[in-house]
Amino acid sequence: MTDSAPAQPTMSRPQPSAREVDAFCVQYAPRAPGHAAVRDLYRLLCDVPEGSLEQRLHWVERWMQWLRERIPAHGLVDASEPEASPADSRLALLIRVLEGEPAMRAALTRLVAAVCEGCRGLKLFAQVGLPAGQGFFAEASDRLARALLPSAPEPGKLSELLLRLCPDPDDADWLARLSPARLAQLAALVGEPRPPEPSPAARVRAPQQVRHERHRLAPAHLAAGSAQHAGNGLHALQPPADALQPVHQIHADARLLQVA
């Protein structure tokens, strides 16, 4: 992918007032309403972008920076809360906020869906293509060239996003230490799939199916209405016998008439 034009600046949103920030912090961190993790998280969730893919990826980077801060966020509600690593305590705070704020949860769910839809993960999970069959020196020079020469950025690949979020090789150990239970909770909150869009063919077939069902159920509805009228002392309306005959039987009767 060639180097595209620079991303458009994110549209400025009204920043939350100091009173709104204080109310949020008192609700989700009553023991430490001035904690920087709570205030930064509120400003971050109030600024979830709805624009381009690059703006959304930039927000994900900001969220990762917030998650990697060394200041823990445990004991904000209950003093007896067990000790946890700074990242796990911030994950717990984020989960608690998303469970109590449906609007923020919906905005973050849309962002996750847009990132997954706009990015490709083939290179992240597999190595594709025909083997080059190069020798040792050719392979070494090729790898050295890829390491030294700058490559065009490809923001639409999850492999590029992972390198932006975790540029240090030691970040693999940091990711492995995250709580699987909390990651599963977070994925369940923001990983709800969107309902599939109906295809144009389904939109066209829908009225035809309704008309077909009406014609198919018309004799039964007529018979039920006749029985109801008979129960009320009225004359029962019986549908013509020919209307209830199968099509092949009607054709057979017509042939008998022709022979006669």
The per-residue pLDDT for range 119-167, each reduced to its tens digit, is 776 555 655 555 556 666 777 776 777 667 666 566 667 777 777 788 8
This prediction has a pTM of: 0.61
Tell me: do 56 and 176 sit in the same domain.
Answer: yes
Task: Tell me which of 190, 213, 229 is where a domain ends.
Answer: 190
pLDDT digit string, tens, across residues 164-186: 788 888 888 999 999 999 999 99
Task: Tell me which of 190, 222, 237 is where a domain ends.
Answer: 190
Tell me: do 162 and 241 sit in the same domain.
Answer: no
Question: Quick one: tokens of 27?
Answer: 């609700």
What distance in Å separates the CA atoms of residue 22 and residue 39, rounded to the nearest whole number? 8
Task: Outline where 136-179 has alpha helix (H).
Answer: 136-148, 158-165, 171-176
Is the CB of residue 41 less than 8 Å from the CB of residue 30? no
Domain assignment present for 9: no
What distance in Å separates the CA atoms of residue 41 and residue 90, rounded to the nearest whole number? 9
pLDDT score for 67: 94
Helix (H) or strand (E) holding 102: helix 102-118
Domain assignment present for 108: yes
Is the CB of residue 185 less than 8 Å from the CB of residue 99? no
Number of domains the chain contains: 2
Q: Which residues pair with 157 in a beta bridge?
A: 120
Tell me: do 241 and 209 sit in the same domain.
Answer: yes
Tell me: do 37 and 137 sit in the same domain.
Answer: yes
Domain assignment present for 213: yes
Sign of CA dihedral 104, 92, 42, 40: negative
| DSSP 8-state class, residue 242 | G
Tell me: do 186 and 223 sit in the same domain.
Answer: no
pLDDT digit string, tens, across residues 87-125: 999 999 999 999 999 999 999 999 999 888 887 765 556
Question: Of 42-51, 63-72, 109-118, which gets the smallest average pLDDT?
Answer: 109-118
Domain that holds residue 86: 18-190
Tell me: do 44 and 99 sit in the same domain.
Answer: yes
